[in-house]
C-alpha cells in the first residue's frame, strides 16, 4: 500500500469519527434543549442518579488501554436509562432527560480530571451519549406507553438484562470503530478485544446497571449507594491488577536495559524495537494478550548477548552466522524463563533465530523489526528505505513477507502522521 492509498484510507477513517461525534453532539443538544424547554421530571431522582454518575466519574481511571474508565458512572447511567419505577411508583422521565442528566453529571465529575489533563476524550463522551441514548430510546417510550405494564418478576429482569447486553454490544462495536478510525489499526482484532473485555469489567457494569434499576424500583433511591459498593470493590481490584502489570513491565524494561548498560547494544535499541513490533503486530491483527507477549519479547530479545565474551559491534546480531544467532537466542530464552514472566515470551526469544517458516508470528515480527532497526541505523541518509528494501529482498527465506509488508505500512503511516520525520 503506497502513501496515496494510506492517505485516502486515513481520510475515510477520520470521516467516521466526524460522523459519530456529530451524531452524539446533535443528540446531546436536542435532549438538552428539550429538557430546558419542558423542565426536569422527578428532580430528586434525577439528582440522585446525577450524583452517582458524577462520583463514578471522579473515580475514573486513566490510560488508553482502559476499556471502561468509569465503570460506576457507566452502570449508573445505564440504570437510569432503564429505570421504570421508584419505590413502586412509576417514573415519567423520558429518553431526552436521561441523556441530559448523564451528560451533565459526566462533565461535572470530570472537571478535576480535566484540570490534570486526564479527563475523558471526545470519543469516550460520544460513546457515553450514544449508548445511553440507545438504551433509553429502547426502553423509556415503551415503558411510558404501558408496554411493560404486565411484565413482572423474572421476565422483567431478563428484559433489562437483554437490553443492557444489546447496549453493551453496540458500545463495543462503536468503541472498535472509533479506535480503528483514530489509529488505522484493523477493525476485526479491535472488536475482538472489545468483546473479550465485556467478559470482565463490562459484564460487571451490565449486571450492576440491571440490579440498580430493579432495586430502585422496589426499595427506592436508598438502593443506589448499597449496590454501588460491589462495583467499587471490583474497580479497586482491577486497579491493583493493573498496578501489578505496570510494575512487571517496568521490571522487564529495566532488564532489557542491561545490554545497553553493559555496552552490548546501542541506547534505546530494545525500546525502539518493542514499540515498532507492537505497531506491526497491531497491523497484522494480533490480540491484546498477543501484543503484550510480543512487546515483552521484543524488549528482551537481545538479553542473550550478555553471554558473549566480546560484544558484537553495535549489537548487530542480524549479521552473525545463523548458528551463533541461535545460540544467543537460546541463552536469552533461558534468562527470560528465570524472570517469571509468561513462558510464551521466552519461546519467542528462543525462536527468533529459527528458520522463518518454522517461527511463530511474534518471533517473525521480532526478527524482521530487529533487522530493520539495525540496518536503518547503520545505513546513514536514506537508511530506512534502504533497510526496508533489504528486508524485501530477504523475504525468500529470512523474513516473512507479510511481516515486511506490515512493517512498510506502519512506516508509511508514521510518515503520514509525522511529516518531516525520518
pLDDT at 77: 92
pLDDT at 358: 86
Predicted confidence (pLDDT) per residue in 98-132, tens digit: 999 999 999 998 888 877 777 778 888 899 999 99
User: Are the C-beta atoms of residues 256 and 299 closer than 8 Å to each other?
Assistant: yes
Rounded to an integer, the average pLDDT of 154-163 is 85
Whether pLDDT at 289 is above 50 = yes
Going by pLDDT thresholds of 50, 70 and 90, the confidence category of residue 273 is very high
Q: Is 380 exposed, middle or buried (0-12, 13-18, 19+ CB in 10 A)?
A: exposed
In terms of pLDDT, which residue wins out, 324 or 137?
Answer: 137
Closest CA to 274 of 349, 355, 329: 349
pLDDT at 280: 93
Q: What is the pTM of this model?
A: 0.75
pLDDT at 38: 86
Predicted confidence (pLDDT) per residue in 170-225, tens digit: 999 999 888 888 877 788 888 888 888 787 778 888 888 889 998 998 888 998 98
pLDDT at 417: 40
Average pLDDT, the chain: 83
Going by pLDDT thresholds of 50, 70 and 90, the confidence category of residue 167 is very high
Whether pLDDT at 137 is above 90 = yes
CATH class of 257-417: mainly alpha
pLDDT at 420: 36
pLDDT at 327: 85
Closest CA to 292 of 242, 220, 227: 242
User: Are the C-beta atoms of residues 363 and 354 closer than 8 Å to each other?
Assistant: yes
Rounded to an integer, the average pLDDT of 263-268 is 82
pLDDT at 414: 64
Whether pLDDT at 394 is above 60 = yes
pLDDT at 418: 39
pLDDT at 166: 92
Rounded to an integer, the average pLDDT of 339-368 is 88
pLDDT at 374: 83
Distance of CA 183 to the CA centre of its chain: 11
In terms of pLDDT, which residue wins out, 29 or 303?
Answer: 29
CA distance 308 to 28: 63
Predicted confidence (pLDDT) per residue in 45-104, tens digit: 999 999 999 998 888 775 444 456 788 889 999 999 999 889 888 888 889 999 999 999
CA distance 411 to 272: 13
CA distance 71 to 290: 25
User: Are the C-beta atoms of residues 312 and 325 closer than 8 Å to each other?
Assistant: no
Other C-beta atoms closer than 10 Å to the C-beta of 196 total: 15
Write phi, then psi, for 268 (nearest 5 degrees): 80, 0
User: Are the C-beta atoms of residues 381 and 343 closer than 8 Å to each other?
Assistant: no
Amino acid at each position: 500500500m503506497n502513501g496515496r492509498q494510506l492517505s485516502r484510507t486515513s481520510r475515510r477513517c477520520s470521516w467516521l469519527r466526524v460522523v459519530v461525534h456529530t451524531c452524539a453532539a446533535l443528540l446531546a443538544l436536542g435532549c438538552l434543549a428539550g429538557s430546558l424547554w419542558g423542565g426536569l421530571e422527578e428532580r430528586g431522582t434525577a439528582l440522585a442518579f446525577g450524583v452517582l454518575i458524577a462520583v463514578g466519574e471522579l473515580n475514573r481511571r486513566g490510560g488508553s488501554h482502559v476499556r471502561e474508565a468509569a465503570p460506576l458512572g457507566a452502570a449508573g447511567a445505564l440504570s437510569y436509562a432503564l429505570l421504570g419505577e421508584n419505590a413502586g411508583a412509576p417514573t415519567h422521565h423520558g429518553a431526552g432527560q436521561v441523556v441530559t442528566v448523564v451528560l451533565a453529571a459526566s462533565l461535572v465529575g470530570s472537571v478535576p480530571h480535566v484540570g490534570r489533563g486526564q479527563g475523558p476524550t471526545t470519543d469516550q463522551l460520544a460513546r457515553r451519549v450514544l449508548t445511553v441514548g440507545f438504551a433509553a430510546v429502547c426502553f423509556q417510550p415503551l415503558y411510558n406507553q404501558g408496554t411493560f405494564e404486565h411484565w413482572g418478576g423474572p421476565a422483567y429482569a431478563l428484559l433489562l438484562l437483554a437490553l443492557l447486553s444489546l447496549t453493551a454490544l453496540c458500545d463495543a462495536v462503536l468503541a472498535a470503530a472509533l479506535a480503528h478510525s483514530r489509529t488505522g489499526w484493523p477493525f476485526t482484532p479491535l472488536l475482538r478485544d472489545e468483546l473479550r473485555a465485556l467478559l470482565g469489567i463490562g459484564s460487571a457494569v451490565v449486571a450492576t446497571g440491571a440490579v440498580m434499576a430493579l432495586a430502585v424500583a422496589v426499595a427506592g433511591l436508598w438502593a443506589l449507594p448499597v449496590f454501588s459498593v460491589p462495583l467499587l470493590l471490583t474497580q479497586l481490584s482491577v486497579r491493583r491488577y493493573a498496578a501489578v502489570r505496570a510494575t512487571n513491565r517496568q521490571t522487564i524494561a529495566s532488564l532489557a536495559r542491561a545490554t545497553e548498560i553493559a555496552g552490548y547494544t546501542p541506547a534505546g535499541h530494545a525500546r525502539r524495537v518493542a514499540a515498532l513490533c507492537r505497531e506491526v503486530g497491531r497491523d497484522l491483527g494480533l490480540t491484546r494478550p498477543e501484543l503484550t507477549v510480543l512487546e515483552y519479547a521484543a524488549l528482551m530479545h537481545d538479553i542473550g548477548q550478555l553471554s558473549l565474551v566480546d560484544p558484537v559491534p553495535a549489537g548487530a546480531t542480524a549479521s552473525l552466522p545463523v548458528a551463533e544467532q541461535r545460540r544467543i537466542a537460546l541463552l536469552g530464552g533461558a534468562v527470560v524463563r528465570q524472570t517469571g514472566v509468561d513462558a510464551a515470551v521466552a519461546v519467542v526469544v528462543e525462536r527468533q533465530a529459527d528458520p522463518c517458516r518454522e517461527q511463530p508470528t511474534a518471533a517473525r515480527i521480532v526478527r524482521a523489526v530487529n533487522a530493520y532497526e539495525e540496518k536503518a541505523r547503520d545505513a546513514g541518509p536514506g537508511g530506512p528505505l534502504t533497510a526496508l528494501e533489504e528486508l524485501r529482498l530477504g523475504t525468500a527465506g529470512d523474513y516473512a513477507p507479510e511481516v515486511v509488508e506490515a512493517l512498510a505500512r506502519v512506516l508509511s503511516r508514521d510518515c503520514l502522521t509525522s511529516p518531516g520525520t525520518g
